[in-house]
């Protein structure tokens, strides 16, 4: 009987271990049908902060696409790669909380104050999972989150990707709006 050389067995083990580690270390969980598991809020809120934008309805004739305060987080490894190598690697997840707001007068003055409503938007880069430049987009609406929804379907390209492809400065990410992405001094 022909024996498999030892080095081939070792090489296979290394490859398998590598694949297992990559899957285990991903900062997001995708099912076979590409559904995204709701990321853990307490965990991602400890990730690096990418920036905040505010897009209220009253500045957009009541028609802002995601009206509210946008707070954006990115997983630590992706930010490191972006700063060191200028790329968003496979295994990037960017999460944007959209906090619903109302206009009020407070002790600090007139302003936009959060109502407690929040949608969660996600962009995941994984070229093994998604075609084109490798980004998949997901959306958890406030009412879905409150109803306990834990899985989101991949959004069709026309809902999210098409706008990101056209307007974003870099690899479908609107880096032009995140001064904090610049290399730290």
Angle at Cα 27 formed by Cα 162 and Cα 87, nearest 5°?
55
Helix or strand run (H / E) with residue 11? helix 6-25
Residues 82-121, one symbol each (x = binds ligand HEC by CB under 6 A, - = not), give ------------x-x------------------------x
Q: Is 174 in the site for ligand HEC (CB under 6 A)?
A: yes
Is 152 an interacting residue with respect to ligand HEC (CB under 6 A)? no
64 binds ligand HEC (CB under 6 A): no
Q: What tokens appear for 6 in the block?
A: 């030892």
Residue 72 engages ligand HEC in binding (rule: CB under 6 A): yes
Q: Which residues, 6+ apart, have CB-to-CB distance to 64 below 8 Å?
A: 55, 56, 57
Judging by beta carbons within 10 Å of its beta carbon (0-12, 13-18, 19+), is residue 100 exposed, middle or buried? middle
Determine if 53 is a binding residue for ligand HEC (CB under 6 A).
yes
The pair phi, psi for residue 12, each rounded to 5°, is -65, -40
The reply on whether position 139 binds ligand HEC by CB under 6 A is: yes
Q: How far is the CB of 15 from ligand HEC (least distance, A)?
A: 33
| Window contacting ligand HEC (CB under 6 A); options: 5-13, 80-88, 125-133, 165-173 | 165-173
Phi, psi (deg, nearest 5) at residue 148: 90, 20
Q: Is 159 in the site for ligand HEC (CB under 6 A)?
A: yes
Distances (CA, A) of 48 to 9, 51, 75: 40, 9, 7
* Interface positions with ligand HEC (CB under 6 A): 53, 55, 65, 70, 72, 94, 96, 121-123, 137-139, 155, 159-160, 163-164, 167-168, 173-174, 177
């Amino acid at each position: 009987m022909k024996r498999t050389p030892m080095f081939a067995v070792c090489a296979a083990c290394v490859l398998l271990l590598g694949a297992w580690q990559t899957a285990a270390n991903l900062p997001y969980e995708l099912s076979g049908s590409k559904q995204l598991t709701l990321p853990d809020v307490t965990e991602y809120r400890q990730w690096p902060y990418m920036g905040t934008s505010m897009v209220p309805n009253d500045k957009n004739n009541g028609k802002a696409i995601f009206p509210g305060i946008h707070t954006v987080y990115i997983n630590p490894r992706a930010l490191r790669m972006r700063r060191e190598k200028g790329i968003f690697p496979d295994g990037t997840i960017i999460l944007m909380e959209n906090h619903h707001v109302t206009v009020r007068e407070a002790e600090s003055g007139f302003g936009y104050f959060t109502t407690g409503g929040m949608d969660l938007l996600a962009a995941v880069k994984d070229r093994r999972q998604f075609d084109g430049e490798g980004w998949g987009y997901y959306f958890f609406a406030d009412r879905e989150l409150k109803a306990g929804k834990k899985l989101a379907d991949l959004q069709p390209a026309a809902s999210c990707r098409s706008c990101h492809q056209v307007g974003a400065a870099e690899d479908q990410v609107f880096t032009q709006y995140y001064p904090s992405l610049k290399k730290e001094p």
